[in-house]
Amino acid sequence: MKRLLLALLVLLLAGCATGPRIDTSYSAVSQDSRVRFLVLHYTAADSPASLKILSQQGVSSHYLIDDKDSKVWGLVDENRRAYHAGLSFWRGYTQLNYNSIGIEIVNLGYKDTPEGRLWIPYTPEQVETIVKLVKQIVKRHQILPENVIGHSDIAPQRKTDPGPLFPWKRLADEGLIQWPDAARVALKQTEFGMSLPDARWFQQKLALHGYLVPQSAQFDKETMNVISVLQMKYRPARFDGVADAETAAILDVLTTPPAAPAAVVTTARK
């Protein structure tokens, strides 16, 4: 009798430990991914240091792309939060660790030389791996092109990664990120060359695009930092933070949808 009671008690405790049985035969139609953003970084460290930092210290990312054989390390499950974004803002959202996936890429970033700052290129193998991985993540979570961004986009006052040599245009060619139409930019550049908008216009347009930027109506240091980040992404040949006609044109095209084609009116024959 005691043995029977003991066996029943063990079964009861086992049932409590495993919890209730969950029936998953139904799946709600009204649902989507919690992930809204994909944030790209460079590690500013070599491969062994990058792996150690991202797996054993207080920062982390979902993926790490090596620079030797472009191996992809999966460090954090996509359903869990990784600590890669820090203090961040994009399109009204803050603290992007909660709703983003982070990809770190082994790249030293830059080194300062007597001739100036030298940015480190990504390897062709890394670029191909980046494109493939971004495609997979975007498709899996239905991330919008305007939400595939760099660390510098979400923290322009303190970050420059993934830097001016990151292959943003390649991602644009694959339809993965937002990119300004070159013909529209050329037309707008001519227009802005005759009359450049003031600081308030730039600040309002930068905020509309997604950045956290002061609304001081002055080209202050913080605003120039944001302009530099925009230039680094869309015009990497020069990213000095100076508001010029080309930058204004890029920003205007990014924030203004193209005009709808005029309707064609036909007259029925009698």
Q: Which residues are catalytic?
A: 104
Identify which of 65, 167, 66, 160 has the alpha carbon closest to the alpha carbon of residue 117: 160
Helix (H) / strand (E) containing 193? helix 182-194
Other CB atoms within 10 Å distance of the CB of residue 220: 13
Residue 212 burial by CB count (10 A; 0-12/13-18/19+): exposed, middle or buried? buried
CB 214 within 8 A of CB 203: yes
CB 101 within 8 A of CB 35: yes
CB 94 within 8 A of CB 86: no
* Nearest-angstrom CA–CA distance, 102 and 116: 30
Residue 50, SS3 per DSSP: helix
* Nearest-angstrom CA–CA distance, 211 and 154: 7
135 half-sphere exposure, CB direction, 13 A CA radius: 12
